[in-house]
Structure 1
Amino acid sequence: MNNRSGIFTFLLFILLFGMIGLQILSMIQSDRLYERLNTLLEAVSGRQMTSYRTESSTDSGSKYPGDEGDWLIESISGEPATLNELVESSTWSTRWIVSGNIFEPMVAYEPNEFKLRGILAEKFSISDDGLEIYFKLKDNIHFSDGTPVTTDDVIFTFETITDPNIDAAGYANYFQDVDKYEKINDKEIKFHMKKVYFLSLEFLGGMPIHPKHVYAFKNANEFNTRVSNPVGTGPYIFGKWDTGQQVVLNRNENYWDEKPKIRKKVYKFITNDTAALQALQAGEIDYLRPLPEQFGEKSKDKEFNKNFYCLSYWAAGNTGYFWVGWNQARPFFADKKVRLAMTLLLDREAIKEHVLRNPDAQIPTGPFYIYGPQNDPNIKPWPYDPQKAAKLLDEAGWKDTDGDGIRDKNGIPFKFNYMIASGLVLHEQVAKLLKDTAARVGIEVTLDPYEWSVFTKKVQERSFDALSMAWGGGVKSDPYQIWHSSQIENGSNYVRFNNPEADALIEEARQTLDDDKRNVLYHRFHKILHEEQPYTFIYTRPEQRFLNKRFSNVKIYKLGIDELEWYVPKEKQRYK
């Protein structure tokens, strides 16, 4: 295995930039839950403990370790607006193409355990008081044009992100606690923090280092509008961008570390899921994230399995969850008894079996990765129980006082709108299930679909009764932006959750460096959410992929998979 790994470098980038995924752009835009998260994940760290965690391999050609060549052609669902990942117009597809392939951070995670290791950094540390972060760069690292990487490039990247004139305000928020940096020499740098934050090392170490001599700008607009031709230290370099069709990356023959076997990576833009699967089977692409129903069908197809790996694994980069949120500013959902009743009215096991058709999906009880240490495994999902739901509604004062079949309270009938983004089949199915069950206990639900741009505007305005969305997630996450009461007006606390004890726990956890002590705080916070039910947590599921079987050395690690280890035996290669 290489000294560094692309997918795990990408996960560290996600840690730095993925928390922006908690903003509105991170909401689900398709039933392909995790592919359409525009900026993905919250944070990545911790320990994973599922059946997918032990290293396994589908390798059928390890006797060909010297084989080089061929292309890996992957379908992605949307064409990026830019390949400049630092600006906010960048999307999920931007980062999927450039992160780990073209740009690398100073630190990333070990492939088989949640332990940071150096990528561009030879050494790194955090002081006992958590206020000083130190990095020493490796001596042999250089950009694809041969220019050595120095601390000037680290400083340039940091100053670019934090420049108020650069279109990176969301990213800059996560560096606002940096007091100053201290350049020790060309290879060593120290960052001084204003206050303790448990993710400071990961954020600073996760910056995708940009070459100053390439990206230096006289005015911010030069950088903001640079959309193509990215240059970094990574194992691949930019080849070409055929607008509307594909982005091509070529192997970096000047790479400072062990070069990957695959000579080209091609990212084809295929927006239609059926067309993408057809392209895979026709040999036009090699690699695909299928819809849940596509995976459910094809993974059982013996003929399909002769030619394609059906990979299903829990990946640290894809530990998000789908949820229904209850706006606590509306009279229907101000009482936690009512919110719990709504959860009891949703048969989530039936959703897993008949809607997702994915036996590996799980019902989460809170916002944390279900196999991670922040999650309290002793908290169990609320069951499907319409009778108990009806009792709770009675206790909350919602009763049918006028005999019209609809519950009411203080003259207000229990009729609410359930907002979804139009065209999302999965969201529509969940909404219809709730509508049917709620009607049986005297609640009228109206489905309220909106085109995506209108939907996001209404979410930002908090103009909804209930809605369904999804968040990206990671094993080591900071719930501040979604759950702290300070985020009700301008953050991502769209359902207006407000609990003083939860606020205090979130604040204390952010400044607690000891993992065990911090997780105790998060377990208490988890319990509060379980009792308050501001969301009904619907499901979380593993990552699923189809991959052509001509590729060998395809392994599953605790953190997922690593494309840089793959190769194609000479006799199976298609492209020169």
Structure 2
Amino acid sequence: MKRAITFCLLLVFVLVTLLAGCTAPTSSPEAKEKMLRIATGKDDYTNSWGGKAVLCSEGLVMFDSNMKIKPLLAESWKVEDGKIYTFQLRKGIKFHDGTPFNAQAVKNAFETYLKKSVIRDGIEVIETPDDYTVKFILKKPNPIFLSNLAVYEEILSPAAVKKALEEGVSEELIPQRVFVGTGPFKFSKWTKGQEVVFVKNEDYWQGKVKLDRIVFKIIPDPHTRVISLEAGEVDLIGNDPFSLIPPQEVLRLQNNPEIRLYHRAAATTYGLDWFSFNTGRDPFNDLQLRKAVKYAVNVHKIVKAIFGNEEPVAKGPFPESSKFARPDLRSPEYNPDLAKRLLAQAGWSDTDNDGIVERNGKPFKITLAIGTREPAWNIIAEMIQAQLKKVGIALEIETYEDQALREKWKKGEFDLIAQTSIGSPHDDPQWHFETYYSTHGSFGYPPVIRDEELDKYIGELKMAAGEKRIQKYHAIQKRIEELVPGVYLYHEPMFAAAAKKLKNFEISPPLPWHRYQVLWKVDIEE
């Protein structure tokens, strides 16, 4: 009897255990959405400069963190005679709308919205031998063709492009209106003046995207962006040209235990802050007066005031680490006495003892036009103003929104103008020289100086390769040093600041086009 009872109890225990195992599992709480909030100062985040190009769309090749070309949508390529580039494309990739990525999609890009781009101009013909092979036959060898592909090219869905064209969108505006690419994120919505939203591409070809959503918060004031990060209202600042961190805020962020500061040294970046003269009109069509201003500006003091050290001081348009930089470039010289002598030799003197030099009764009063995008320029402008006053030059500071500043440059309505430029948008500086110093330059802006010798050297770059190319660059830099079309200040060190919950983030590469290309790997751990 006792055994029977024991057996029955054991049987009941086993049955209860089995039944417990068969009960419906309790529902686990729904996973929290992983949303990355990025503060930026510019409202138009639908262009390549802003980050859309690397969130939504991709090109055949890309730069890695060391500025080396690596495959992207193309898995390999070969070059023949410096003129024929044949790319083998990856298979099995689809655009966000389900359209297959193939050779025809690449060709379509160059025959529509890339038709007038910098890179398209040198292409004679594009062939598609099969669905996954594209052949570019150039008019002549171009040493930076691959680099240009990595910078300027993005492949969009031909179906989406066709639809936009049928709706009346011009070819030139396609990159700003069509966001259907192969990238890790899809464009969701843009609330003007407030935010731009991207959602993850569930079928991204490179792997699983960890973030569910990226929201760009529009915060024009740089100090407010810093405060928003500290308050936990955003997760990332400083990672693009429209979200720069004020240099004076860097130390504060570095000491915040809830924030991780990312830094890329000036020697490894391509950002350049400088100012150019209006050499097309009086007074700075006079080389002697340009030299006077150059010697009156204490570049080392300005850079130290901004960064706390003189590491980023620019000796030329490129960091000394660049293979194209002249090895004999000198550090900028501060010599106010020489500046005064040059002014006197040009006929400028202070006859009424008001501290400002005059010539023929006209005081030496000039303007410096600066933009609102980079906060450091407020400090720079005020320091230049004080330094020029010491040699008898009165400087008025004029501040403009970015677009208005570009119009001032285009129309030549300035004496001095702030230039926050890219010394090189890729691993070769040809673009920089063509944009700023050539009379046949890009983007419709006048060159900072017109000089036949410079034009000759820059024109010869298109055919020069190897050591000859380096020598051409050295000659260009020497000529620029002689002409003094501007004053180089510093190479921009890069800073980004993020909440510590961000994982796998890196500040790379140094190009504004591609700084968000790593976001598909980023995760958030609360």
TM category, shorter: 0.7 to 0.9
TM-score (norm 2): 0.81
2:127 maps to 1:127: no
Aligned partners of 2:350 and 2:198: how far apart in 1? 67
Identity %: 23
Instruction: Indicate which of 138, 142, 149 corresponds to 2:94.
Output: 142
Partner secondary structure for residue 92 of structure 1: coil
8 Å Cα contact 2:319/2:325 also seen in 1: yes
Report deviation, 1:313. Answer: 0.8
Distance 1:158 1:364 in 2: 37
Q: Which residue of 2 aligns with 1:265?
A: 214
Q: What is aligned with 1:324?
A: 275
- Pairwise CA distance, 1:188: 1.0
2:21 aligned residue: none
Q: How many angstroms apart in 2 are the aligned matches of 1:464 and 1:494?
A: 14
Partner of 1:152: 104
2:63 corresponds to which residue?
A: 109
Change (3 A) 1:412 1:458: farther
Any gaps of 5 or more consecutive residues in structure 1?
A: 1-66, 86-90, 164-168
Which residue of the partner structure matches residue 398 of structure 1?
Answer: 347
Q: Which runs of 5+ in 2 are unaligned?
A: 1-30, 239-243
Q: Distance in 2 between matches of 1:452 and 1:251?
A: 31
2:454 aligned to which of 502, 506, 517: 502
Confirm whether residue 100 of structure 1 aligns to residue 54 of structure 2: yes
Is 1:322–1:469's contact at 8 Å kept on the other side of the alignment? Answer: yes
Matched, 1:456 2:413: no
Aligned to 2:316: 366
Question: Distance between the aligned counterparts of 1:249 and 1:530, measured in 2?
Answer: 46
Rounded to whole Å, the distance in 1 between the matches of 2:237 and 2:439 is 39
Residue type at the aligned position of 2:34: D
* Matches of 2:398 and 2:505, distance apart in 1: 44
Question: Cα RMSD (Å) of the superposition?
Answer: 3.1
In the alignment, the residues of structure 1 paired with residue 101 and residue 314 of structure 2 have an alpha-carbon distance, to the nearest angstrom, of: 43
Contact 1:68 1:263 (8 Å CA) reproduced: no
Cα deviation 1:499-548 (Å, max 9, x = unaligned) = 3322222111222233x331221122112212321101122221111111
Q: Distance in 1 between matches of 2:439 and 2:521?
A: 45
Q: What is aligned with 1:51?
A: none
> Which stretch of structure 1 is more off in the superposition, 291-300 or 457-466?
291-300
Aligned counterpart in structure 2 of residue 255 of structure 1, from 177, 183, 204? 204
Output the amino acid matched with 2:491.
T
Assess if the C-alpha contact under 8 Å between 1:121 and 1:135 holds in 2.
yes
1:180 and 2:129 are equivalent in the alignment: no
The CA distance in 1 between the partners of 2:397 and 2:221, in whole Å, is: 25
Taking structure 1 as reference, are residues 337 and 454 closer, same or farther at Cα in structure 2, changes over 3 Å only? same
Report 1:59-458 matches (<5 A): 70-80=34-44, 83=46, 85=47, 92-93=49-50, 96=51, 98-111=52-65, 113-128=66-81, 130-163=82-115, 169=116, 172-204=117-149, 207-217=153-163, 219=166, 221-222=168-169, 230-289=179-238, 290-301=244-255, 304=256, 306-314=257-265, 319-354=270-305, 356-359=306-309, 362-395=312-345, 397-400=346-349, 406-407=356-357, 411=360, 413=362, 415-421=364-370, 426-449=376-399, 454-458=404-408
SS in 2 for 1:209: coil
Once the two structures are superposed, the pairs formed by residues 479-498 of structure 1 within 5 Å of their partners are: 479-487=433-441, 491-495=444-448, 497-498=449-450
Kindly name which structure, 1 or 2, has the bigger radius of gyration based on alpha carbons. Answer: 2
User: Do 1:229 and 1:238's aligned partners in 2 also have CA atoms closer than 8 Å?
Assistant: no
Measure the CA separation in 2 of the matches of 1:566 and 1:294. 28
AA partner of residue 49 (structure 2): W
Q: Indicate the SS of the match to 1:176.
A: helix
Note if 1:513 corresponds to 2:442: no
Give 1:334 deviation, angstroms: 2.8
1:237 aligned counterpart, secondary structure: strand
* Structure 2 Cα separation of the partners of residues 433 and 541 of structure 1: 18
> How does the TM-score come out when normalised to structure 1?
0.74
1:471 matched to 2:417? The reply is: no
Q: What's the counterpart of residue 553 of structure 1?
A: 504
Number of residue equivalences? 476
What amino acid is aligned across from residue 563 of structure 1 in structure 2? Answer: L
